[in-house]
Amino acid sequence: MKISFAAQRPAGSYALAIPVRSEDMLGDRLQGFDDSARTLAARAAEAQRFERETASVAEVFVPEGEGARRLLVVGLGARKDEEALYERVGGALTARLLVSGETKLVVDVSGLGLNGEEAARIGFGAAARGWRYDNYRTKLPRKQKPSLEEVVIVGAGDGADQAWGDKAALLEGLSFTRELVTEPANIIYPASFVERCRKRMEPLGVEFEVLDEDAMRELGMGALLGVSLGSEQPARLLAMRWNGGEAGGKPLVFVGKGVTFDTGGISIKPAAGMEAMKWDMGGAGAVAGAMLTLAGRKAKANVVGICGLVENMPDGKAQRPGDVVTSMSGQTIEVINTDAEGRLVLCDAISWAQRKYKPETIVDLATLTGAMIISLGHEYAGMFANDDGLAQQLVAASTASGDKLWRMPLGDAYDKLIESPIADMKNVGPREGGSITAAVFIQRFVEEGVKWAHLDIAGMVWSDKAKHLFDKGATGFGVALLDRFVAANYEG
């Protein structure tokens, strides 16, 4: 979707949106229309019970010249500092018009005193909400096909085009993550995930390093490789490096769980709903999207994104419950449940990241536990951290980006729950506190002095209902969060 900014309304055919705050006189906001058109719009808004709540929309066709124009009055609410206010407004307008037959929308914010950043946020919300992935739909009815192609925002303050540059880069990263998460597992598997990332990011200057199974075996990554034993698709460890900061500076490291399909292995999942497990690589997808965003806006920071990419299948060669594997760190793991595979992937990826890059900070993202959805539903991702300062930075980034985090506890009492009678640890604890015992498992592989946070995003990467920035399906959760975290804490 094309987003642009202008000083005045263009000529021609388009739908027109007028944002209105709670205290505004509707007639004043509809300047440019004659009295009869303003009266019609006011009556239509009243009939639709339009009370100017944030992102509420009233719609009417008003006479203009010899024809009629589709007019949308959209609420801005009463609070100018409301969370994601402008993104919600843009998203609501796209949701209303995406398949309406309109090809162009003009949003006139004249007289509201919006600055360029706020106007760009409206454009971002409109474009993000318009994302669709119809690649495999061959018989989509005409009325269901998207028609809206362009949004023009009129009357904003200076700096809108400049602000849009960063928003456009974020939109690219968000869209890429949604694409990866949406694709079926016969299209996105470890090797194809790598190639799709390489195609998008190498032209932007991102450096790639890819380890195949032989290289990982030589490094002793028995935990990650154990997950992959039952699959015909070989595992990969992908590292994407963006060098935008001080030369030679230690990079910030993001690590993503990339289980491109998760049957549960020998501890197989129920058949109902298993098709959803194509998005079990949502953590790796978020890391890839964040790296594309950082490169796209030429972030002034050194960042490495690492994705542990495997497929978890129940083959005759698959690992069994009760097997013991040796991780890259040398620690041994009794595999009690082969469906607790993500932590096995992450532990070796984190060990390799520490040996390779000597980072001061690691943030991992993973669709790790169903227990997190039981705890927080689909409103927050769970955050675990070994450093209060890092936790505060991530919470601040989550508030600013809209990718919400809620901090969860760690502690020795939980750590004791994963002790094994025959190995250094087992990969699951009891049913209670399942998200926490998964986090303390990963913590055992974080070296002394390294700041670390684990984000369990199981409830956030896919949505069964539409919201202001996405329709049903892939959300792109984590991309805006990581981008904001970098911008606020690693760029001057």
- CATH number for the domain including 463? 3.40.630.10
Domain membership of residue 57 (yes or no) is yes
Unique residue bearing structure tokens 């991309």 = 479
- Statement to judge: residues 293 and 147 lie in one domain: no
Of the candidates 439, 176, 426, the one whose C-alpha atom is nearest the C-alpha of residue 292 is: 176
Domain membership of residue 37 (yes or no) is yes
Distance CA 257, CA 255 (A): 7
Query: Is-contact 310 228, C-beta < 8 A?
Result: yes
Query: Is-contact 375 435, C-beta < 8 A?
Result: yes
- Statement to judge: residues 104 and 214 lie in one domain: no
Q: Mark whether 269 is an active-site residue.
A: yes
Domain membership of residue 406 (yes or no) is yes
Instruction: Determine which one of 343, 426, 451, 484 is catalytic.
Output: 343
Distance CA 306, CA 205 (A): 16
- Statement to judge: residues 121 and 176 lie in one domain: no
β-pair partners for 470? 467
The DSSP 8-state label assigned to residue 98 in this structure reads T
Distance CA 478, CA 482 (A): 6
Of the candidates 295, 325, 140, 322, the one whose C-alpha atom is nearest the C-alpha of residue 229 is: 325
Domain membership of residue 164 (yes or no) is no
Unique residue bearing structure tokens 């719009």 = 41
Q: Pick from 130, 156, 182: which residue ends a domain?
A: 156
The pLDDT, as a whole number, for residue 369 is 97
Q: Is 438 helix (H, G, I), strand (E, B) or coil?
A: helix
- Statement to judge: residues 145 and 183 lie in one domain: no
Domain membership of residue 161 (yes or no) is no
- Statement to judge: residues 296 and 174 lie in one domain: yes
- Statement to judge: residues 62 and 120 lie in one domain: yes
The pLDDT, as a whole number, for residue 245 is 95
- Statement to judge: residues 332 and 430 lie in one domain: yes
The pLDDT, as a whole number, for residue 26 is 82
Query: Is-contact 148 112, C-beta < 8 A?
Result: no
Number of domains present in the structure of the chain: 2
- Statement to judge: residues 189 and 73 lie in one domain: no
Q: Pick from 134, 156, 178: which residue ends a domain?
A: 156
Q: Mark whether 250 is an active-site residue.
A: no
We report the CATH number of the domain holding residue 109 as 3.40.220.10
Domain membership of residue 476 (yes or no) is yes
- Statement to judge: residues 149 and 204 lie in one domain: no
- Statement to judge: residues 190 and 111 lie in one domain: no
- Statement to judge: residues 135 and 186 lie in one domain: no
Q: Pick from 135, 156, 177: which residue ends a domain?
A: 156
382 half-sphere exposure, CB direction, 13 A CA radius: 26
- Statement to judge: residues 400 and 348 lie in one domain: yes
Mind listing the pLDDT tens digit of every residue in the chain (492 residues)? Answer: 999 999 999 999 999 999 999 888 887 888 778 888 888 988 998 899 998 999 999 999 998 877 889 999 999 998 888 888 999 999 999 999 999 999 999 999 999 999 999 999 999 999 999 999 999 999 999 999 999 999 999 999 889 999 999 999 999 999 999 999 999 999 999 999 999 999 999 999 999 999 999 999 999 999 999 999 999 999 999 999 999 999 989 999 999 999 999 999 999 999 999 999 999 999 999 999 999 999 999 999 999 999 999 999 999 999 999 999 999 999 999 999 999 999 999 999 999 999 999 999 999 999 999 999 999 999 999 999 999 999 999 999 999 999 999 999 999 999 999 999 999 999 999 999 999 999 999 999 999 999 999 999 999 999 999 999 999 999 999 999 999 999 999 997
Instruction: Determine which one of 9, 69, 217, 269 is catalytic.
Output: 269
Of the candidates 481, 492, 375, the one whose C-alpha atom is nearest the C-alpha of residue 434 is: 375
Domain membership of residue 163 (yes or no) is no
Domain membership of residue 175 (yes or no) is yes
Q: Which domain holds residue 114?
A: 2-156
